[in-house]
Copies of this chain bind each other. A is one copy, B any other.
């Protein structure tokens, strides 16, 4: 417990996309703590074993990760930054392995499914599901079996000393994941210097979680609180809830800082319509991701 806390906790192993997001947000030299689950990364900040947590929150193909919104709803951490990463898959093997040797390709089933075209073009190669992309890269490099390769990030090849046989294996290039940087709620002095990566920190957004009664027009009135103040809506999503048929949970991201009068007034104006309202954070927008 006396050890210096890590700069950030993330879910996955070294070379995972979350690690890359953490380095984008906190710099290449950041001390990172790899955790087995999203909840464990979140808890590491609560327990002061890490100053921040970096968690994925939505993907352009797979949608929002509601379980991570649930962690945020507990209110002990708040969003202090974000990063958007292009998810691109590389084919990685041990040094010396040639493309024509490869007969088995290991990766997470979601990554394998995103590279369907590659397996169609190479019918002699078998897809082998394993736990995670970076772990697959580590395994094929360590084992050094000539017939095996892995699908993972180019970063994983570097981390584990593998060679990249092919890049951009994915079928859809519009594959981006948005990651959140989370810190202790209300702990203003902990906001990292590098998290203001959004074009000089000029552009900010504020994330809200709002529970509304299931009444025609409730959401329209809620959004009117922002529209009438010219506050732009960046994201809106209703969360499907079962067991609560008379209420709805919404995620809203609006442009601006919570300190801006129009945003603060908009939030205050929503309150009368809301069964509950939580500000999840107010933070610099990520720059457009590298293509």
Contacts and interface: CB of A to CB of B under 8 A. Distances in A.
Nearest to A130: B129
A209 interface: no
Given A216-B227, A220-B227, A62 B61 contact: no
A1 interface: no
A65 B67 contact: no
A238 B237 CA distance: 6
Most chain B CB inside 10 Å of its own CB: which residue of A61, A67, A239: A67
Interface in A211-227: 214-217, 219-221, 223-224, 226-227
A231 B176 CA distance: 34
A29 interface: no
A60 B242 contact: yes
Contacts of A228: 217
Contacts of A221: 227
B67 A64 contact: no
Most chain B CB inside 10 Å of its own CB: which residue of A110, A223, A239: A223
Contacts of A250: 236
Contacts of A235: 238, 240
Interface string A38-66: 00000000000000000000101111111
A245 interface: yes
Contact of A236 (B58, B63, B219): B219
A85 to B, nearest CB: 11
B237 A236 contact: yes
A241 interface: yes
A214 B228 CA distance: 15
Contacts of A65: 62-63
A108 interface: yes
A73 interface: no
A66 B236 CA distance: 15
Interface string A95-119: 0000000000000111001001000
A60 to B, nearest CB: 5
Interface in A64-78: 64-67
Contacts of A238: 233, 235-237
A230 B242 contact: no
A14 interface: no
A89 interface: no
Contacts of A226: 216, 220
Nearest to A252: B238
A131 B116 contact: no
A27 interface: no
Given A216-B227, A231-B216, A245-B288, A62 B63 contact: yes
Given A109-B109, A131-B129, A223-B223, A62 B66 contact: yes
Interface string A177-208: 01000000000000000000000000000000
